[in-house]
Amino acid sequence: MPAAQPQLGLDDARDLIGQIGFGGDPGDGLIGVELESFAVPATDPASLALPVLPGGSAISFEPGGQVELSSRPARSVGEVCEAVGLDLAVLREAFSRQGIELVQRGLSRSVPRRIVDGPRYRAMEAYFDAGGPAGRVMMCATASVQVNVDLGPGPERWRRANALGPVLAAAFSSSALPRRWACARLGAWLEVDPTRTAPVEPEPEPGAAWADYALDARVMLIRADPEDYVPVVEPLTAREWVAGGHPLGWPTSEDVAYHLTTLFPPVRPRGWLEVRMIDALPDPWWRVPVAVVAAVLDDPDVEAQCGSAAVLAPDGWRAAAVRGLADPVLAEGAAACAKTALAGLDRVDADPLTADLVDRWASAVFEGRKLPWT
């Protein structure tokens, strides 16, 4: 909660943000995945009976009632995919008995509406509604596969994830809207407040770049008390809040850390890297981006093999949303990522099912065919 007097200087805030983003173990070798699904029909999660999941994943709910499975950190692609696959099957069966189907795709076909209540989501909805309809679409009608990897040694993995993000978005889209979007989920995110959804400039130094991004982002909400989160609809950056305060108070270290949870760039550092630009994919195809991300972010040669696709950003994000793999540069990059992933499956210890799915996806990419889940 904010304080009555100044608590932090800008240098303090910069150091804190850099430490939160890049202060984790750079090479612990862990990988995780978060899978979002739409519940059909959309249902208040408070009414659902939730099963115990044998693979240890956590269950949570996004504002539109999207069901999220968050894995435990694992030591290999095979380990995390096997655990989450088992948990997804158990969750699907439990929900089916309650008349609910779990559907994995990037964009819902329903009118976006908030189902899950709570002070954070109420404030978030008010903040985004003040800027237009895209925020409610993003909150309530989009779903993703998020792959979490360690920071790796040095800044290379951070830079590589940002450079290849548009390629990954195009290669794993499940939200095409003919004649408008190749990836409508990404299109919706591009229309939302860019101070919190645009990619982070990865140079020159990751911690400093992340601190500048976070301080220049608008404050979404201020937690006046545990049940009263006040949306800040008049523009106020975190930098301005730290330097000049607000009628509700001055930010504490906890407020700055919470501010970071309201930022949603395509690659978000949290002591590890959250790779967030991938659409939700139907079971079992969600396994493919887990293996591909793990393999390509580990390969120092992949950027050179991707050619111009690795230097498209920021224009590459718009190209991925509008044209997807119909863009020849992104198609070239996807083929290079597919080649790198196939060569790296043993290195990331992919299980047989995941390896077979990667091979089938890669064949479609090489041959310019439709992605196998479309």
Residue identified by tokens 């794993």 is 172
**Which residue stretches of the chain have pLDDT < 50?**
313
* pLDDT for position 312: 55
Paired sense of beta strands 228-231 and 101-103, if any: unpaired
* pLDDT for position 41: 94
* pLDDT for position 69: 98
Distant-in-sequence contacts of 354-358, Cβ < 8 A, 24+ apart? 354/77, 354/78, 354/81, 354/284, 354/287, 354/288, 354/290, 354/291, 355/291, 357/284, 357/285, 357/287, 357/288, 358/287, 358/288, 358/291, 358/292
User: All domains of the chain, ordered by start, with CATH?
Assistant: 10-367 (3.30.590.20)
| Phi, psi torsion values for 207, nearest 5 degrees | -65, -40
pTM, 2 dp: 0.95
Helix segments in the chain, DSSP class H? 10-22, 77-96, 119-129, 134-141, 156-171, 184-190, 194-197, 206-216, 238-244, 253-260, 287-296, 302-306, 315-322, 328-344, 352-367
The CA distance from 370 to 348, in Å, is 26
| Phi, psi torsion values for 98, nearest 5 degrees | -100, 10
Question: At 70, which helix (H) or strand (E)?
Answer: strand 67-70
* pLDDT for position 175: 97
